[in-house]
Amino acid sequence: ASIEENKTRDRRLDWNHQGTVGAQQSQPSPERHAEANAVREPNNLSAARGDNTNSRSRGKAKKRQSTNDGDLYCKVFFGGGAKQQAPIGFVRTRSRLKSTFAHLRRVIENDLVPDVIKADWDWRFLVPNLGPLSKAQETKFGPALPFLQQASTAGGDGTSKSPLQVDLVEAPKPTVS
């Protein structure tokens, strides 16, 4: 190490990688120069210490993704499909990534009943292209936002600037006896 003390770092690393102690080049080869630079990068050093830098970047990506979560804003409409839609209000839940139809039902019932929706009205969510959602299905399909975005081209990303469109319809009458 004391022999290398007076040489530049590039020269030291180049000399160490040649395999013979006495042989030196006046100019480091491009490959050796790239190797020397790679050794000095912090990611390679942390990998040599056993740190898993890939999991760190994945953790940062997950952190960024979770920061994309926020309040879910829904613009609520009466009717859907062939019927004329009438806006009846909007609601907000705490998570765009986790709120299910069951969460939306609770918030709608707390915020819009009895002011806008009659307390005794039996309603269902209408999923465009699929049909009405039963109460039993409200928890089975996971988060409402991604489900509605996959099922339809209608309506928003769930932010206050672009609320998710939620259609409510009269509950279908039982047809099977």
Average pLDDT, integer, range 149-171: 90
Coil, helix or strand at residue 161 = coil
> Is 39 or 158 the better-scoring residue by pLDDT?
158
**pLDDT attached to residue 153:** 78
What is the predicted pLDDT for the residue at 38? 47
Checking 78-86 for CB contacts under 8 A at 24+ apart, the result is 78/167, 78/168, 78/169, 79/167, 79/168, 79/169, 80/126, 80/128, 80/167, 80/168, 80/169, 81/126, 81/128, 81/167, 81/169, 83/169, 85/167
| 71 within 8 A of 160, measured Cβ to Cβ | yes
Instruction: Report, as an integer, the average pLDDT of 164-169.
Output: 93
User: pLDDT per residue over 48-67, tens digit each?
Assistant: 444 444 555 555 544 444 46
